[in-house]
Chain A
Amino acid sequence: MLTVTLITLAAATMLALAVAAGSILGWANRAFYVAVDARVTRIQSVLPGVNCSGCGYVGCGEYAEAVAAGDAAVNLCAPGGASCAQAVAGIMGVDVEPSWPYRAIVHCAARFDQRLGRSEYRGELSCSAANLVAGYQGCTYGCLGLEDCVRSCEFDAIHVIEGLAVIDYRKCTGCGACVDACPRHIISRVPFKASRILAVACSNQDFGNDVRAVCTFGCIGCKACERVSSLFAMQDNLPVLDYDSYEPDSAPQAEELDKSIEKCPMESLLWVGEPAPEDILATADEELPLRAVADFKTTVDQAEWRG
């Protein structure tokens, strides 16, 4: 008798509590209702959700809100690519202009051996620290090779090979984290209109002789490319390729570009992007080290922590 009453009473208590809490929460849900744009949640669901901030907003959630509010373009998501832009545009009911995937380009081609005039460096092994030190290497514009960009990349798409940052275009999503991480600003994002695209692989703004003194590759500002192709414009002693007017399918442009590469005395113009099938075939039997060990490490650098 006692037990039966106890169990009944316990069940009744729980039921009464559930009813009470349910009605209070139900009331609160209506009284404190916040209208959320249904499009925000739908946009969020089609975004990749990697929160890379490549679009200029803190995370995917904030970008979704900005798009729904009409403050942001629908095609800013670099990791999502064209399909994502299409989906967002569909939700917003607008047409998306065909946009090209943006990918990072390193504007430096000099590997460790090709950079000259460096002194011993015993400081912190990061580019931002080395950038503060005069005389780390001769060229004050080029890649420092201490992997700030590698650490910034969430997609494992960038590696320092023989002291030079090299982008793995099969993994690069164009989020732009490395662009912000590089203290020398030698990485930029450009629209990849073809799987292989031409890049100016030098950032040295000095005049010819000064460049030659520190690098065997660097652009000496001879303007040969500018004379051959109208796509190049000289800026601070460097040719800048006009990616907006660059059309990979146009035959005359391709011819001009080929000619400019031929004319470039310093090999500062490079094709970057995913390797062409014939390139892969040509190097199939070679075994390339994934990461060359730089020889500038001293025993002091073995210590993990200093100061």
Chain B
Amino acid sequence: MELFADLLLIAVGAALINNFVLTYFVGICPFLGVSRRLDMALGMGFAVTFVISVAALLSWTLTEFVLRPGAPLPSMVWRAVAGESADGAMDLSILSYIVYIFVIASSVQFVELYVRKFFPALYKSFGVFLPLITTNCAILFGCLEVMKHVHSREWGLAESMTMAIFGGLGFTLAIVLMAGIREELDLSDVPRAFRGAAITMVTACILALAFMGFTGVGANVRDALLGAEAVEAVIEDAGPGDTAKSLGTTEPRPRD
């Protein structure tokens, strides 16, 4: 129940409360670039979701076993080299960024090959934006979020994957909403000064504002799942299980 509640909280947090695009403002370029048509936006959303899941899986594995301070693999090597009496921990976390970028680029390349083979129409409609997923900071953000929580020993694989998948779905939701609005905007009478990029930016901002309304939902979800006592206990603990806090959601509202 505890784990399930944590996962649900991470899912809701990544998809709605801390939506990658609308709260952290990462992954803006595909959000504004590929949100002109609904079908393309949906395709882009799923491509990003897939890449972010693959990248999170790989980066969790690599961080957990190779890159984090005191990771088993380098420590094993260090002990083998310096003998049992070896002191000083092995820390390969300097490699984190380059490894994540490497992993992201490879998985995007893989996705591109796959989409080209099995979804040629989607491949054509993506055009230049498919390789650009490589530089989509939403994905690097996902990897870094995984890194942060693995370093502090909070998240296992399940939590990381939940964050990645639902973060990707949150991105999909945001880009699809945006595409829907923009399709309507094409038919509406926009003042000339606002046409084109300007109205798109304004729309994105209003959408982001709307998503701010989800702030604080996390605590209520946890409240509903575990009961008020559990929430208070966890918050007093402020231990590793305090996902509400680690996700950056606000404190639970005072109960009246």
> Chain A residues in contact with chain B, CB under 8 A?
1-2, 5-6, 9-10, 13-14, 17-18, 21, 24-25, 28-29, 32-34, 304-305, 307
Q: Are B102 and A6 in contact (CB under 8 A)?
A: no
Binding site for A on B (CB under 8 A): 62, 66, 74, 77-78, 81-82, 88, 90-92, 94-95, 98-99, 102-103, 106, 109-110, 113-114, 116-118, 120, 189, 191-193
**Measured CA separation A99–B24 after assembly (Å):** 57
- A1-B82, A32-B116 known; A25+B95 contact, CB < 8 A: no
If A5-B81, A17-B99, A17-B102 touch, whether A32 touches B191 (CB-CB below 8 Å) is no
Nearest neighbor of A306 in chain B, beta-carbon distance = B192
Which chain B residue lies CB-closest to A32? B117
9 A-B contacts (beta carbon < 8 Å): A2-B78, A5-B81, A17-B99, A21-B102, A21-B103, A24-B106, A29-B113, A32-B113, A34-B116
Residues of chain A within 8 A (CB-CB) of B116 are 32, 34
Return B67 CB to nearest CB of chain A, in Å: 8
Across the interface, do A28 and B110 meet the contact criterion of CB distance under 8 Å? Answer: yes
- With A1-B82, A10-B94 known as contacts, the answer to whether A32 contacts B114 (CB < 8 A) is yes
> Contacts A14-B98, A28-B114, A34-B117; is A9 near B106 (CB within 8 Å)?
no
CA separation between A216 and B118, bound complex, in Å? 63
Q: Known: A13-B99, A17-B99, A304-B192. Is A28-B113 also a contact (CB below 8 A)?
A: yes
Given the known A-B contacts A5-B78, A29-B113, are A10 and B92 also in contact in the complex, defined by CB atoms under 8 Å? yes
CA distance A25 to B98 in the complex (A): 18
Q: Specify the chain B residue showing the minimal Cβ separation from A16.
A: B66
Chain A residues, Cβ within 8 Å of B189: 307
Q: Contact: A25 with B109, CB < 8 Å?
A: yes
Having A13-B66, A29-B113, one finds 12 other A-B pairs with CB under 8 Å, namely A2-B78, A10-B94, A14-B95, A14-B98, A14-B102, A17-B99, A21-B102, A25-B106, A33-B117, A34-B120, A305-B191, A305-B193
Q: Which residue of A lies closest to B110 (CB)?
A: A28
Q: How far is the CB of B158 from chain A (nearest CB, A)?
A: 24
Q: Report Cα–Cα, A25/B82, bound state, in Å.
A: 36
Query: A14: which B residues are within 8 A, CB to CB?
Result: 95, 98-99, 102
Give B165 Cβ to nearest chain A Cβ, in Å: 21
Inter-chain CA distance A2–B83, complex, in Å, is: 12
User: If the complex has contacts A24-B106, A305-B191, are A9 and B77 also in contact, measured as CB distance less than 8 A?
Assistant: yes
Chain B hits for A21, CB < 8 A: 102-103, 106
CA distance A6 to B94 in the complex (A): 10
Bound together, the chains give a CA A33 to CA B114 distance in angstroms of 9
The distance from the CB of B101 to the nearest CB of chain A, in whole angstroms, is: 11
| Known pairs A24-B106, A32-B116; A9 contacts B99 (CB<8 A) | no
